[in-house]
Amino acid sequence: MSTILDVAKLAGVSTATVSRVINSPKTVREKTRTKVTRAMKTCNYKYNALARGFATKQSNTIGLIIPTINNPVFAESTRGVQDYADQQKIQVILGNTYYQNDQEEELVKTLREKQVDGLIITTTNPRGDALKTLLDENFPFVLLYSTVKSGPLSAVGIDNFQGGYRATEHLVKLGHKRIGMVAGNFSKSDRSLHRWHGYRQCLKNHGIDYDKNLLAQTDYSLTGGRDSAKKLVSLQNRPTAIFCSNDYLALGAMKGARELGFNLPKDLSIVGFDDIHIASYVIPELTTIRQPAYEMGNLGAKLLLQRIGGKIKPEQLMLESSLIVRESTTKAPGIPNN
């Protein structure tokens, strides 16, 4: 593998000049430039970005830490950060935590060793040591999906409380009184927790007693959603509607209910969260809270690169979420159809 030194010799110039034609072509006379370019060709020169990173202390690489790429909502935001990064000639290293805090800490460590310029994290534990350390050491990172409205850490997310509230409110307005919730484990996701707070608050505001039996916490999987839904609808005084803390769980929940012979949405209304692409491709089409995942990733990358670029002050971007009413929710049994 040839280096700029080889090129330099071949072209009869110094390495500095070669470096210049690579990084700031205009600062070198056209004649020498073509001479160098030609030399690069003939010795099949390949640029070594690693060496550059080593010399400049900028790897032009960022790390992206998500729970799991299997959940389409994370695939979507991942695409958002990739596209933005790509456009800025930045590469992204991806890591899955599988909702495990130790994995998250491990990933942060490895990625920093790899000298990533910054980190985008959908965290499993907003109060964990990993983030605290990053903060202390003033390492550039931005949180994705979390509800952070102020404070010292950068974030782009949505108001998860509000989202949970709206989802529940939609159900309440349809006349539902027994409203269950299938939620990802609170210990592993602040998003889920905040959505649940919104759910509780909404019930309260509408004079509906909170029944803790109607809450099922589960791991974030299709089967988790399915089993949790089965559990809830098997209760003596079963819910007539279920709010799932994400679409992935909702898809599972729909299957669970169906397996027990429930007719959707007649027997059971379901509302999800995220609005992943397939949400509108299933039967019944899923009513959900839409959050702009791609945009979130995109903006997250933008924010991060800005911070890396020198803008020091942390900043929070709070995007809008909205209720998308489709077919999976309907009037509560006994409520006249208008």
Partner DNA sequence: TTGTAGGCGTTATCAG
Partner DNA sequence: CTGATAACGCCTACAA
- Positions touching DNA (CB under 7 A) are 1, 3-5, 12-17, 19-20, 22-23, 27-29, 31-33, 47-48, 51-52, 54-57
> Is residue 115 part of the contact set for a copy of itself (CB under 8 A)?
yes
> Is residue 5 part of the contact set for a copy of itself (CB under 8 A)?
no
For residues 230 and 260, is the Cβ–Cβ distance under 8 A? Answer: yes
Q: Among DNA, a copy of itself, none, what binds residue 142 when CB lies within 5 to 8 Å by partner kind? A: none
Give the binding range for a copy of itself (CB under 8 A) out of 32-40, 70-78, 143-151, 167-175: 70-78
Token pair of 325 as six digits: 């009413």
Q: Half-sphere exposure of 189 toward its Cβ, with a 13 Å CA cutoff?
A: 24
Give the binding range for a copy of itself (CB under 8 A) out of 5-13, 45-53, 176-184, 299-307: 45-53
Q: Whole-number minimum distance, CB 237 to a copy of itself, in Å? A: 27
For residues 300 and 144, is the Cβ–Cβ distance under 8 A? Answer: yes
- Number of residues lying near a copy of itself (CB under 8 A): 46
Q: Is 327 exposed, middle or buried (0-12, 13-18, 19+ CB in 10 A)?
A: middle
Q: Among DNA, a copy of itself, none, what binds residue 291 when CB lies within 5 to 8 Å by partner kind? A: none
Nearer residue to a copy of itself within complex by CB, 213 or 223: 223
> Is residue 38 part of the contact set for a copy of itself (CB under 8 A)?
no
Q: Which of 211, 216, 210 is nearest to 182 (CA)?
A: 216
Q: 228: how many CB neighbours lie within 10 A of its CB?
A: 26
Q: Which amino acid is at 247?
A: D
Cis peptide before 284 (omega within 30 of 0): yes
CB contact set of 84 (below 8 Å; sequence gap of 6+): 297, 298, 301, 302, 305
The residue within the footprint of a copy of itself, chosen from 4, 13, 215, 222 (CB under 8 A), is 222
CB contact set of 49 (below 8 Å; sequence gap of 6+): 60
CB contact set of 213 (below 8 Å; sequence gap of 6+): 235
Q: Whole-number minimum distance, CB 115 to a copy of itself, in Å? A: 4
Q: Among DNA, a copy of itself, none, what binds residue 313 when CB lies within 5 to 8 Å by partner kind? A: none
For residues 285 and 328, is the Cβ–Cβ distance under 8 A? Answer: yes
Write the interaction track for a copy of itself spanning residues 74-103; mark x where CB under 8 A is met and - where it is not.
Answer: -xx-xx--xx--x--x-xxxxxx-------
The residue within the footprint of a copy of itself, chosen from 258, 318, 324, 331 (CB under 8 A), is 258
Q: Whole-number minimum distance, CB 4 to a copy of itself, in Å? A: 13
> Is residue 251 part of the contact set for a copy of itself (CB under 8 A)?
yes
Q: Among DNA, a copy of itself, none, what binds residue 75 when CB lies within 5 to 8 Å by partner kind? A: a copy of itself
The residue within the footprint of a copy of itself, chosen from 12, 27, 41, 51 (CB under 8 A), is 51
Q: Whole-number minimum distance, CB 103 to DNA, in Å? A: 24
CB contact set of 131 (below 8 Å; sequence gap of 6+): 121, 123, 125, 141, 143, 153
Q: What is the DSSP track for 233-290?
A: HTSTT--SEEEESSHHHHHHHHHHHHHTTPPTTTT-EEEEEE--GGGGTSSSPPEEEE
> Is residue 324 part of the contact set for a copy of itself (CB under 8 A)?
no
Q: Whole-number minimum distance, CB 311 to DNA, in Å? A: 19
Q: Among a copy of itself, DNA, none, what binds residue 104 when CB lies within 5 to 8 Å by partner kind? A: none
* Interface residue list for a copy of itself (CB under 8 A): 46-51, 53-54, 59, 61, 68-70, 72, 75-76, 78-79, 82-83, 86, 89, 91-96, 110-115, 222, 251-252, 254-255, 258, 277-278, 280-283
